[in-house]
Amino acid sequence: MTTTAPSSAPAPTAGPAARGVGVYKTYGSGEAEVRALDGVDVEFAPQRFTAIMGPSGSGKSTLMHCMAGLDDVTSGTIYLGDVDITGLSEKKLTMLRRDRLGFVFQAYNLVPTLNAIENITLPMALAGRDPDQEWIDQVVRTVGLDDRLTHRPSELSGGQQQRVAVARALASQPDLVFADEPTGNLDSKSGIQVLGFLRQAVDEFDQTVVMVTHDPNAAANADRVLFLEDGKIVDEMSEPTGEKVLERMKRFGD
Amino acid sequence: MWKTTVHGLLAHKLRFALTALAVFLGVAFMAGTLVLTDTIGKAFDDLFASVNEGVDAVVREESPFDDDFGQAIRSPIPEQIADELTAVDGVESVEGNVFGAATVIGTPEQIAKREKEGDDALGRNRGAQSPALGFNWPVAQEVNPLRVVAGEAPAADDEIVVDKATADEEDLAVGDDVVVTTVAGTEAYELVGIVTFGTADSPGGSSVTAWETSAAQRALGFDGTYLDVRVIADDGVSQDEVVANISEAIEAGEITGTANGRDLKLEVLTGAELTDEDQNELADQLGFFNTFLLVFAGVALFVGIFIIYNTFSIIVAQRTREMALLRAIGADRRQVLMSVMLEALIVGLLASALGLGAGILLAGVLQGALEALGIDLPSTSTVIGMRTLVASMVVGTLITVVSAWMPARRAAAIPPIAALRDVSIDTSGRSGRRVAIGLAIATFGALGLFVGLFTEIGNSILIVGVGAVLVFLGVIVLGPLLALPMSRALGAPVRRFRGTAGTLAQANAMRNPKRTSATAAALIIGVGLVGFITIFASSASASIGSVIDKAFLADFTVDSGSFGLSGLPPELVDQIEELDGVEAVSPVRLGTAEIEGKGAQLSAVDPTTINQLFDVGVSEGAIEGAGPTDLFVLRDKAEEEGWTVGDTVTVNFARTGEQELAIAAIYDEPQPAGTYTITLEGFEQNFDESQQFDPQVYVRYEEGFDLDQAREELEATVFAVAPNGGGAGPAGNQGLDHHPDQPAPGCGLRPVGPGHHHRTARNRQLAGIVDLRANP
C-alpha cells in the first residue's frame, strides 16, 4: 500500500496521475437502465489542471466519483498513479482517499462544529498524522485565511468557506485534487478567487487538479478541457478560453 | 475524531440535554432508591447494634413455626428461668423481657375534652398510624434500648415512661396522668419520664410505653412469664463462652421450663446473633421496599432506551451529510461508528453522574417524605455505598451506549457518496423476517401470559411478567409494519379536513415507519404503565369494597383501627352485651398457628352470635353450637385439602402445641373471617394472654331499636373502656362504624373473586378502616 507521507509532488517524468480504461457505469437494470458512463478512456496528466465539461446528465460528475473511488464502476479499470483501485476494499479505498486525494465539493465541504484550521487539518487528524506545518502555513497564506482560522464555518462567507475547502484539499499534498462544481454556489467574485487558488496550486505548488464544471469561464482556468456527452468523451480542448468553451458547449444539441 | 465529537456535543446542547434527560431520570431514581434503602438499613443496623450492645446472650423458646410472613412465632417462657440462669457460670445478671401492644390515649383532661367535642375526637393519635409498643424497663441499663431524657425511670406499678415523639405530639409532660390501653384494659398511670429509643425519638414512628418489669408483665399479659431473658455476662467472659455455659445447663436439665403442661424447647443465642437477626429481619422488609422502587427505576430506564435510540437515530439522520463528508475525506467506518458511540458514552457518563447526584438529593427528599408521614428514622449520615456509585454509573452509561449502538451502525454505513447527493435512504428492513420474528416473540409472550394467568405451572407472577414484556417487544418489532397501515387509516380524516398540512403530516408519518414506530414505542410504554397502575389500584380497591359490603349483617363495627398488634380489651364485648337493645355481639380475634406445616392466620369468633353478624355462607355443618375443639374452614381451602365436615385437622399452637381440631363447618365467604376460624373459647385456651385482644367488635341491635340512641350508648361504652375508640383510626375515621339498612338474611351476597382472601391482620385492619361503611 503506497500511503505516501506528504512529500514533494510526483516527478514530471511519471505517468498520468489517474487513468480510466474502458469505464462503464450503469444505474438500475432492465427497462430502467441508465448508462451514465459508456466506455470512457481517460488520463489526467500530473501537475495539470483538467476541467470536465458537459451538459446536465452527460456523466461528468459520475466520471469524477468513479475516478475518485467514491463510486464503483460497472466495468473497466481505474488507476490512481499505478494503483488499480477498482478491486480495492472499502477500507483501503478510504485510506487512499485520505492519503492521496483531495476533495472540494459544491457545498457542505466543512464539518460545522470545527473551526477553519481544524477543518483544514482534519484529513491528517483522521489519519492520526501531524500536519506539515510549513506547508499548511503556505496554503493558508495563499488562500488568504490567516485571520479567519479560528472561525466556525457558520461565521464565514460562502467564498471563505470554499477557500477553506480548497486549503483542506491541498493540506495533505495529495496526488490529485478533485473539485466538483467548486464555484457552483458562489458569486462570481468569490468564484474567480477560488479558481485562482486552484490555478495557483497547479502552477506554484505542482498539484494536479481535476474539476467538474458547467461554467465555461471556470473551465477557462484549466490547462485542458474534456467534453462529455451521453457518457462518452466527445471532445477535448487545450489552452481553453471562455469563448472557445462556450462555443463548443453550444454545439451540444439539447 | 474525539474533537469533532466533543465539539459536536457542545454545539448541540439542547440535543445533548434531551438525550441525557432520559438517562438522568432513570439513574436518579435508581440511585435515590439505593441511597435511601442503604441509609435506612444503616440507621437501623446502628440502632439495633446500639440497643443490643449490652446483651451477651438471649434465652427464649425455640420457635416451632413461622407465621405466613416468615416471622417466628414463639411462646413466653416462665419467669423462674431467669432465676435459674443467674446460677450459670459467667452470668453476671439477667433481665426478663416482655413486649406487647400499648396505646397511649392521653390525659383524662384531654379525653374529656375530646369526648365533649363529639364523635370526631373519639380517636386520633399516633397509635393509629403505626404500632403502639409496650416495653418493660430493665434494671440493668446495658440491655435497655430506652434512654431517659426527662424525668426518671418507672419504678412503681402505676408509673410509666413514653417516647419523646409521642410526648411531644400528644402534649404530655412528666407528672401528668396518662391513660394507656393494653390487653389488660384501660388504665391511668403517672408519667414519670420521657425516653428515646437509642438515639431516635421513637423506633420507626411507633409509640412506646414502658413500665417497671413486673408492672409491664401485668399490663402486657405476661403473667409469670417473659418473652425472653437477656443475659449479661461477667467481665472477661465472652458471648460465646456464656452461651456455651447456658447451653450446657439447658442440656443438663438445670434450666427447664414448662408452659401449659408442655416442656418448652429452649434456645440460646449470643447478643451478636440477636443483632444479626434483627438486622436481617429488617433487611428482608427493606428488600421488598427496595425492589418495589427499583422496578420503577427499571421502567424509567427501559423507556429511556427508546428515547435514546430515537434521539440518536434522529441525530444520525440529521448528520448524514456530515458523516458522508467525513467518509469522503478519509474517515473509515470504524471512526464514524466510534464518533457516535463516543457521543453516547459522554452523554451516558455525564447523565449518569448527574443522575447519581440528583439521586442522592432525591433520597434526602424521600426520607423527608417518610418523616412527614410520621416514620422517623434514627439519625444517621446518608450512606452512599460503592454499590450505588458503580451500579448507577454502569447501568446509566451502558444503557445509553447500547441504545445508541444501532443508530451508530447506521451512521457508519452511510456511503461517502451521500455527501454529494441529496439522499434520503430508508431501509425499512426485510418485512418477511420482521413479521416472523415479531410474531414469534409476541406469540411466545402471549403463551406466557396464558400459562401464567390460567394454569398453575411454575411461578405465575414471573411468567406473566416475562410474557408481558415479550408481548411488548413483539409489538415493538412489528411496529414499523403496523405504523404504515395505521398512519394511513388514522391519517385519512386528518388529510380530509386539514388539506395540504394534513396530507404532509400523514406522508411524513408514513415516510419512515421505523422512526414513527420508535417514537410511538416510548408512548406505548408510558400509556401501558399508566393503565397498569390504574387497573391495579382500582382492582385492589374494588376487591376490598366488594368484600366489605357483602357479608355484614351487623349494625356497627367497633374498629381498633390499629395494626394487628393491638386491639380492644376483651372486657368491651361483655359491656356491650349488657347495653339496651343489643341483639348480638362478637369480636374477631386474630392469631397464628401452624396448620399442615405452614404458619396460618386463624380468626376467632363467638359461635353463638356470629350468624347474626355475618353471613359467611356456611354450606356444610354449622358454626352455632361449636366448641373449643372445633374448626371452621373456608370452602376453597377445604376443597384444596380434600377436607369435609367431621375430619380432624392437626393444629400446632405456639402455646399449647399440637391439638386435634374437628372441622365443624365449611363456609364460602373469605370475609371477614379468612381461611380458618375457631371459637373464642378455643382461642382463649390456645393463645397466650398477651394475644387476647380484639381488633374488631361487631354489634347488632334489635329490629326497630333507635340506632341513634344505640350509637350514643355504644360510644359511651367504648369510650369508657377504650377512650381512644379502640386504638383509634386515622383522622376522619371514627372508631365506630354504622351499618344501617340491615338486609334480610341471605340477601346482598355477591360472589367473591378468588385470591382476595384477607391474609393478615394488617390487611384486614386497613380494609376495615378504608371501607367499613353502610351495610347494603
Whether A65 and chain B come into contact, CB under 8 Å, resolves to: yes
Measure in Å the smallest separation between the Cα of B398 and chain A Cα atoms. 26
B289 domain residue, yes or no:
no
Q: Are residues B685 and B745 in the same domain?
A: yes
Q: Which residues of A touch B332 (CB under 8 A)?
A: 91, 94-95
Which alpha helices (DSSP H) does B552-675 contain, by range? 571-577, 610-613, 635-641
Which of B510-514's residues contact partners 24+ apart within 8 Å by CB, and which partners? B510/B483, B510/B484, B511/B426, B512/B426, B512/B428, B513/B428, B513/B479, B513/B480, B513/B481, B513/B483, B513/B484, B513/B487, B514/B313, B514/B426, B514/B428, B514/B429, B514/B479, B514/B480, B514/B483
Q: Give the pLDDT band of residue B546 (cuts 50, 70, 90).
A: low
B263 domain residue, yes or no:
no
Contact B1 A180 (CB under 8 A): no
Does residue B122 have a pLDDT over 50?
no
What is the interface pTM, i.e. ipTM, of the complex?
0.85
Contact B330 A123 (CB under 8 A): yes
**What amino acid occupies position B215?**
A
Whether B422 and chain A come into contact, CB under 8 Å, resolves to: no
In angstroms, rounded to a whole number, what is the distance separating the alpha carbons of residues B628 and B182? 25
pLDDT computed for residue B8 by the predictor:
66
Q: Poorest-confidence range of B81-85, B168-172, B576-580, B687-691?
A: B687-691
- Write the CA distances from B100 to A234, B97, B479, B615, integer angstroms: 107, 10, 59, 33
Contacts of B48 (CB under 8 A, 6+ apart): B275, B278, B279, B282
Residue of A nearest to B333 (CA): A91
- Write the CA distances from B483 to B432, B473, B493, B630, integer angstroms: 16, 15, 16, 65
Q: Give the pLDDT band of residue A58 (cuts 50, 70, 90).
A: confident
Q: Are residues B472 and B372 in the same domain?
A: no
Q: Are residues B417 and B451 in the same domain?
A: no
Q: Are residues B118 and B213 in the same domain?
A: yes
Q: Which residues of B touch A65 (CB under 8 A)?
A: 417, 420
B275 domain residue, yes or no:
no
pLDDT computed for residue B678 by the predictor:
92
Q: Are residues B593 and B652 in the same domain?
A: yes
Q: Give the pLDDT band of residue B3 (cuts 50, 70, 90).
A: low
Q: Are residues B628 and B666 in the same domain?
A: yes
pLDDT computed for residue B121 by the predictor:
37
Domains and CATH numbers, chain A: 47-62+98-250 (3.40.50.300)
Tell me the per-residue pLDDT of A20-30, one tens digit each, with 9 for 90 and over. Answer: 888 888 887 77
Whether B434 and chain A come into contact, CB under 8 Å, resolves to: no
Number of domains chain B is built from: 4
Measure in Å the smallest separation between the Cα of B332 and chain A Cα atoms. 6
What does the DSSP 8-state code read for residue A11? P
Contact A71 B332 (CB under 8 A): no
Does residue B750 have a pLDDT over 60?
no
Q: Which A residues, 165 through 224, put their C-beta within 8 Å of a C-beta on chain B? A: 168, 180
Domain that holds residue B585: 552-771
Q: Which B residues, 278 through 297, put their C-beta within 8 Å of a C-beta on chain A? A: none
Do the beta carbons of residue A6 and residue A170 sit within 8 Å?
A: no
B408 domain residue, yes or no:
yes
Q: Are residues B34 and B138 in the same domain?
A: no
Q: Are residues B435 and B505 in the same domain?
A: yes
Name the domain boundary from B221, B242, B267: B221
Q: Are residues B765 and B624 in the same domain?
A: yes
Contact B330 A108 (CB under 8 A): no
Whether B325 and chain A come into contact, CB under 8 Å, resolves to: yes
In angstroms, rounded to a whole number, what is the distance separating the alpha carbons of residues A162 and A211? 14
Q: Are residues B168 and B210 in the same domain?
A: yes
In this structure, is the dihedral angle defined by the CA atoms of residues A178, A180, A185 and A190, taken in order, positive or negative? positive
Whether B1 and chain A come into contact, CB under 8 Å, resolves to: yes
Measure in Å the smallest separation between the Cα of B11 and chain A Cα atoms. 7
Q: Give the pLDDT band of residue B352 (cuts 50, 70, 90).
A: very high
pLDDT computed for residue B762 by the predictor:
26
Name the domain boundary from B528, B549, B570: B549
Q: Give the pLDDT band of residue B748 (cuts 50, 70, 90).
A: very low
B10 domain residue, yes or no:
yes
In angstroms, rounded to a whole number, what is the distance separating the alpha carbons of residues B350 and B405? 18
Contact A99 B329 (CB under 8 A): no
Regarding predicted confidence, which is higher, A93 or B563?
A: A93
DSSP string, A195-207: HHHHHHHHHHH--
Tell me which residue in B11, B419, B420 faces A113 most closely, judged by beta carbons. B11
Closest CA to B314 of B410, B429, B430, B398: B410
B262 domain residue, yes or no:
no
Q: Are residues B632 and B751 in the same domain?
A: yes
For residue B585, the cross-strand partners are B699
B84 domain residue, yes or no:
no
Which of B315-322's residues contact partners 24+ apart within 8 Å by CB, and which partners? B315/B15, B315/B340, B315/B343, B315/B407, B316/B340, B316/B407, B316/B408, B316/B410, B316/B411, B317/B515, B319/B411, B320/B414, B320/B418, B320/B423, B321/A108, B321/B418, B321/B419, B322/A108, B322/A111, B322/A112
Q: Give the pLDDT band of residue B601 (cuts 50, 70, 90).
A: confident
Tell me which residue in A91, A97, A180 faces B420 most closely, judged by beta carbons. A180
Contact B331 A125 (CB under 8 A): no
- A·B CB contacts under 8 A: 71
Q: Are residues B586 and B719 in the same domain?
A: yes
Name the domain boundary from B527, B549, B571: B549
Contact B330 A114 (CB under 8 A): no
Contacts of A6 (CB under 8 A, 6+ apart): A132, A135, A172, A173
- In this structure, the strands spanning B225-226 and B77-78 are antiparallel
Tell me which residue in B3, B330, B419 faces A94 most closely, judged by beta carbons. B330
In angstroms, rounded to a whole number, what is the distance separating the alpha carbons of residues A217 and A188? 10
Task: Give the best residue of A88, A113, A168 to mutate against chain B (max B CB count within 10 A).
Answer: A113
